[in-house]
Chain A
Amino acid sequence: MSGAVPPEDIRLRIRSNPRLLSAVRGLVRGYLDNLGLDAEQRDTVVLAVDEACANAIRHACQGRHDASIDLRLRTDPDAIVIELEDQSLPADAHRLAPRDLTPPSEAEPKPGGLGVQFIRQAFDDVAYHSEPHGGNRLTMRLHHPLDRTLRAQKEDEGDSTHGLAHRER
């Protein structure tokens, strides 16, 4: 981590086409490389983001390829934060219920729930929010203590970051 330079935060809008996921993986991999994650952890996070996007396409966008998904990559002082938003119908609550966050049984592995399992494995905190009339947001946080230099840089950028966030609204 020492000497690593914080990358700019990234916001990307993609069509809900599974064939675009390899490009998303490449972007996330590059972002995490700049943060100095080791290869094993980086690949686990990339897989989790891939699964989150695939789940959004499958469940929220119901397989449509013409919906939009917004991906945001950013760093907080103590965490890497990756957010996924779509404006589709709320995902089936049953698919995101706690039972699906339980790892599939070792004795009887099932295809369902594997993606959620990867997400839970890769991130420390996962939060899902849906709007009743459409829109889903998945926020995934990986605790990642940045060194003092990075913390200082983030604090210095605080004002301009707030300004950017305001303008983006």
Chain B
Amino acid sequence: MQIASTEVNGVTLIRVEGRMDAPAAPEAEDAFREVIDAGATRVVIDLSGVEYISSGGLRVIIMLMKSLEKARGRLVICNPSPFVSEVFEITHLSRRIPIYPNQEEALTAAAT
């Protein structure tokens, strides 16, 4: 799994590639904590490169979501595959985290 983050107009854009499963979760958690520790409050996770996600990956996304909510920030997801979208639906996380089909809309939503 690879994780890279950049800043776009005040929004932290995190791009994840690979599998977000149990073995990959610690690496994702470290990367997300770095983002929080750097003071980010508006975050977009681009999941276009994520081929698989399990509860291990969801746990760190929930952790990030809660940290941002405490900081009165916002988490937005974009570009999930149909499978990843299904996982968010099953867990009802799609009702808590806005999901957009492309990066541009997600960045706009996170910035407002």
Which residues of A does B touch, CB under 8 Å? Answer: 18-19, 21-22, 25, 40, 43-44, 47, 50-51, 54, 58, 103-104, 106, 109-111, 114-115, 117-118, 121
Contacts and interface: CB of A to CB of B under 8 A. Distances in A.
Overall SS of chain B's interface: helix
Contact of A115 (B55, B92, B93): B55
Interface of B: 19, 21-23, 52, 54-56, 58-59, 62-63, 82-83, 86-87, 90-93, 95-96
A21 B22 contact: yes
Nearest to A113: B55
B55 A114 contact: yes
Given A22-B19, A40-B86, A43-B83, A51 B62 contact: no
B21 A21 contact: yes
Nearest to B89: A121
Contacts of B22: 18, 21, 54, 58
Contacts of A50: 21, 54
